Amino acid sequence: MATIKSILQENRIFKPNDNFVAQANLLNKKDYSSLCKEAEGNYENFWGRLAREYIQWRKPFTRVLDESNHPFFKWFDDGVLNVSYNCLDRNLECNSDKTAIIFESDEGNITNITYRELYLRVCQFANGLRSLNIKKGDRIIIYMPMSIEAVVAMQACARIGAIHSVVFGGFSAKSLHERIVDTAAVAVITADEQMRGGKGILLKSVVDKALTMSNTDFVNSVIIYQRTGTHIEWNSVRDTWWHQLITDKPDYCEPEWVSAEHPLFILYTSGSTGKPKGIQHSSAGYLLGAMVSMKWVFDYKSTDIFWCTADVGWITGHSYVAYAPLAMGATQIIFEGIPTFPDAGRFWKIIQDHRVTTFYTAPTAIRSLIKLGSELPGQYDLSSLRLLGSVGEPINPEAWVWYYEVVGQSRCPIVDTWWQTETGCHMIAPIPGVVSLKPGSCTFPLPGIMAAIVDETGHEVENGEGGLLVIKRPFPSLARTIWGNPDRFKNTYFPEDIGNKYYLAGDSAQCDSDGYFWIMGRVDDVLNISGHRLGTMEIESALVANSLVAEAAVVGKPHEIKGEIIVAFVVLKGPSPKGENAKQIAIELRNWVSKEIGPIAKPEEIRFGDNLPKTRSGKIMRRLLRTIGRGDEITQDISTLENPAILEQLKKSAI
């Protein structure tokens, strides 16, 4: 295999500061290495011990790991538990009056809810679901705004053993329909409307539309949370208002005790090609991973005000909004709106107003906030922050340093967390009291996660060489299968040609000489320029390191001689340049990249735009950029695109 060249040079190191270390959950290298040693020494004992420590079992397990049906692993499988019991009932004793959720609506209204209140609301709603004859194992689609109710809906499903599948509120009727059909859901929980940036976005009417499409007869109930009171069409056979469903329902609901392996949820993740995959997670293994990582990586303390900005429609919003914070008894922020409404100071104001200690967001949000007002955080009191986190894509070193200096005021470690929908929780991430940080590196695998970098035959590569990121041993929070398609699960994640029974993440990565992991992007984002394989991320980082550039995405365009040439789509900090000015800046940027990483990485074409095409979770849709770069017509599905208008602008952007 042609080695993936790594050309990114990042030598800055940030040691954890003394004040942080003094209060950290894992205090020193000794604690940390003894955990790693314990995991290496007796893998099953290690996970078994943690599962006993973190989870409250109805019936304890006697077996830790069953690998007999590779790769369909089972963890703790004769144990019995309920995930909602672990998130709610266990908090009634000590945290009953503690605030579980501080909800801030789009327009700025604030609702606080204690653990006791949340528990009562989940019980009532779970009884409501049972009154509709919804039972253990039934699939329920949740299509809701960020709200306390969305969490109540997820927890209520867990309480009665129903399997939820949350569909992000920005998905189209077609995508929603596809998920309803694939899960054969018996109910859909939705809202009349959601509010984002001062605008109402209809949800119930999208559900109606999805249910008029073929093959949805198995949906018996649609439950509607009234968010704004806007008019909705009413189907008297299947529609029920949330508030009417819970009227007179008892506020105790006996949990459905399920096996550790009972599916907790299905969450769809779109590959770059093909039909979305319904990633199916277990109950106990998933919960354990989410809790342990919250303790280690977020250094969770009971006094924290935790804020993960992800929508519950994504895995991050499952693990670090709906499950881990509650299971750990945390107080967390849930925010309905967007970072730029009413102005670009909204995130910073929320941190100031609620004294947020732990802030977890995505590089795309960080970069757009830099563009919108690099000086804004300085106008707010961010002194409550003690830890920052990043997730979703590689964070460019320049954005990292801005986040560290301007938001964290050089006081807060940044945990750059590498993981996936499939892994359920953090896999490679710093333990912040112990690990020195390098901007752009997610540092080291967590104790018990046997990550490595291999070539296409499954052999480990030397430090400094790029390759495929794998995890060599099964781990509790790993997805169990693709819903209804076990063969696809096996072929995608445990392909025969890797040969070693490793979990194949689909990302390329390298380790540097200190053993730090650097994620170079999805395998399908790798460019092949004159026989050199280059990660798109490194070229993007170089572009963003130029003081004019806010954001950049790089794609390959087929070329007869070179294999591929590089096309860079660039968003400047100021307005998009035109004419001669654009030409001048393009030359400057090409020379810049050439100087930063060498002529091989010099973009052949540079195109400027006001923005980049992104999914609603903020991922750049490189496949659309590839099509535009080649000058082809866009025929792909763009229903998940946040800002479709940008495509027209970029098509005309060639200079």
- Which residue has the CB atom at the shortest distance from ligand PRX? 421
Instruction: Report the residue number, 130 or 622, with the smaller CB distance to ligand PRX.
Output: 622
Rounded to whole angstroms, the Cα distance separating 163 from 41 reads: 36
CB of 642 to ligand PRX, least distance (A): 15
Instruction: Report the residue number, 357 or 420, with the smaller CB distance to ligand PRX.
Output: 420
Piece in contact with ligand PRX (CB under 6 A), picked from 72-80, 226-234, 417-425, 542-550: 417-425
Piece in contact with ligand PRX (CB under 6 A), picked from 2-10, 181-189, 390-398, 528-536: 390-398
Q: 579: part of which helix (H) or strand (E)?
A: helix 579-597
Q: What is the SS3 assignment for 619? A: coil
CB of 99 to ligand PRX, least distance (A): 26
Q: What is the DSSP letter of 119?
A: H
End-to-end Cα separation, the chain, in angstroms = 36
CB of 7 to ligand PRX, least distance (A): 17
- Tell me if 419 contacts ligand PRX by CB under 6 A: yes
Instruction: Report the residue number, 54 or 418, with the smaller CB distance to ligand PRX.
Output: 418
Instruction: Report the residue number, 10 or 507, with the smaller CB distance to ligand PRX.
Output: 507
Residues in the interface with ligand PRX (CB under 6 A) total 20
Strands (E), 21-179: 65-66, 74-75, 80-81, 99-104, 110-114, 139-143, 163-166
| C-beta atoms surrounding 381 within 10 Å | 12
Rounded to whole angstroms, the Cα distance separating 535 from 524 reads: 10
Closest CA to 452 of 431, 478, 428, 435: 428
Q: Are 438 and 13 in contact (CB under 8 A)?
A: yes
Radius of gyration of the chain (CA): 24
Which amino acid, 359?
A: F
- Tell me if 149 contacts ligand PRX by CB under 6 A: no
Strands 526-529 and 532-535: antiparallel
The number of residues in the chain equals 655
CB of 319 to ligand PRX, least distance (A): 8
- Tell me if 95 contacts ligand PRX by CB under 6 A: no
- Angle CA 145–148–152, to nearest 5: 100
Among 418, 483, 503, 608, binds ligand PRX (CB under 6 A): 418
Stretch 420-449 residues interacting with ligand PRX (CB under 6 A): 420-421, 442
Helices vs. strands in the chain: H and E counts, helices first? 21, 31
Rounded to whole angstroms, the Cα distance separating 265 from 139 reads: 8
Piece in contact with ligand PRX (CB under 6 A), picked from 33-41, 154-162, 339-347, 386-394: 386-394
Closest CA to 193 of 238, 166, 233, 156: 233
Q: Is 631 left (phi over 0), alpha (psi -120 to 50) or beta?
A: left
Instruction: Report the residue number, 255 or 430, with the smaller CB distance to ligand PRX.
Output: 430
CB of 129 to ligand PRX, least distance (A): 28
Site string for ligand PRX, 451-490 (x = CB under 6 A): ----------------------------------------
Q: What is the SS3 assignment for 198? A: coil
Rounded to whole angstroms, the Cα distance separating 513 from 248 reads: 64
CB of 443 to ligand PRX, least distance (A): 10
Among 3, 105, 269, 384, binds ligand PRX (CB under 6 A): 269
Instruction: Report the residue number, 315 or 624, with the smaller CB distance to ligand PRX.
Output: 315
Strands 139-143 and 163-166: parallel
Q: Are 333 and 364 in contact (CB under 8 A)?
A: no
Stretch 612-651 residues interacting with ligand PRX (CB under 6 A): none
Instruction: Report the residue number, 240 or 270, with the smaller CB distance to ligand PRX.
Output: 270
Site string for ligand PRX, 558-577 (x = CB under 6 A): --------------------
Stretch 495-534 residues interacting with ligand PRX (CB under 6 A): 505-507, 519, 522
Instruction: Report the residue number, 48 or 325, with the smaller CB distance to ligand PRX.
Output: 325
Piece in contact with ligand PRX (CB under 6 A), picked from 134-142, 338-346, 410-418, 629-637: 410-418
CB of 68 to ligand PRX, least distance (A): 28
Rounded to whole angstroms, the Cα distance separating 434 from 32 reads: 8
Instruction: Report the residue number, 391 or 601, with the smaller CB distance to ligand PRX.
Output: 391
CB of 363 to ligand PRX, least distance (A): 8
Closest CA to 515 of 444, 455, 456: 444
Piece in contact with ligand PRX (CB under 6 A), picked from 6-14, 62-70, 411-419, 587-595: 411-419
Q: Are 126 and 159 in contact (CB under 8 A)?
A: yes
Stretch 313-352 residues interacting with ligand PRX (CB under 6 A): 315-316
CB of 479 to ligand PRX, least distance (A): 10
Q: How far is CA 64 from the centre of its chain?
A: 27
Instruction: Report the residue number, 263 or 394, with the smaller CB distance to ligand PRX.
Output: 394
Q: How many CA atoms lie within 13 A of 241 on its CB side?
A: 10
CB of 354 to ligand PRX, least distance (A): 24
Instruction: Report the residue number, 269 or 500, with the smaller CB distance to ligand PRX.
Output: 269
Rounded to whole angstroms, the Cα distance separating 27 from 21 reads: 6
Instruction: Report the residue number, 352 or 390, with the smaller CB distance to ligand PRX.
Output: 390
Piece in contact with ligand PRX (CB under 6 A), picked from 337-345, 387-395, 460-468, 490-498: 387-395
Question: What's the Cα-to-Cα distance from 224 to each of 8, 194, 201, 234, 650, rounded to whole Å?
Answer: 50, 12, 15, 10, 39
CB of 61 to ligand PRX, least distance (A): 27
Residue found under tokens 């333990």: 431
Rounded to whole angstroms, the Cα distance separating 209 from 419 reads: 34
- 3-state DSSP helix/strand/coil % of the chain, to nearest 5: 35, 25, 45
CB of 11 to ligand PRX, least distance (A): 19
Closest CA to 520 of 621, 451, 442, 455: 442
Structure tokens belonging to residue 106: 């789009």
CB of 206 to ligand PRX, least distance (A): 22
Among 104, 239, 261, 393, binds ligand PRX (CB under 6 A): 393
Q: Are 439 and 394 in contact (CB under 8 A)?
A: no
Among 417, 481, 536, 640, binds ligand PRX (CB under 6 A): 417
Stretch 53-92 residues interacting with ligand PRX (CB under 6 A): none
| C-beta atoms surrounding 456 within 10 Å | 13
Among 145, 169, 317, 392, binds ligand PRX (CB under 6 A): 392
- Residues forming contacts to ligand PRX in the complex (CB under 6 A) are 269, 315-316, 390-394, 416-421, 442, 505-507, 519, 522
